[in-house]
Amino acid sequence: MRLKVEVVKELIIENNLSQNQLAERIGVSKGYISNSLSGKRGAGRKLLAGLLRMFPEESVATLTTESRVV
């Protein structure tokens, strides 16, 4: 799955966080956050779980886009 980059960036801004602070709080590397937001890497379970803990009002559907062709 890929992150909806604009949604996640907006959440970061609204909560006055940097990408580094977000990475620390959800337990992933800052490089993982950066690569996910730039589209170089998909969103794994650890990243999604962390985002859902940080932003409980969000859901997997609001944070990701399914990029697979069936």
- In this prediction, residue 68 carries a pLDDT of 56
Q: Tens of pLDDT along 31-63? A: 999 999 999 999 999 999 999 999 999 999 999
In the chain, the amino acid numbered 22 is L
DSSP the chain: -EE-HHHHHHHHHHTT--HHHHHHHHTS-HHHHHHHHTTSS---HHHHHHHHHH-TT--HHHHEE-----
For the full predicted model, state whether its pTM sits above 0.85. Answer: yes
The domain limits of the chain are 2-65
Which tokens belong to 53?
């803990």
| 2-65: CATH class | mainly alpha
* CA quadruple 6, 53, 49, 60: dihedral sign: negative
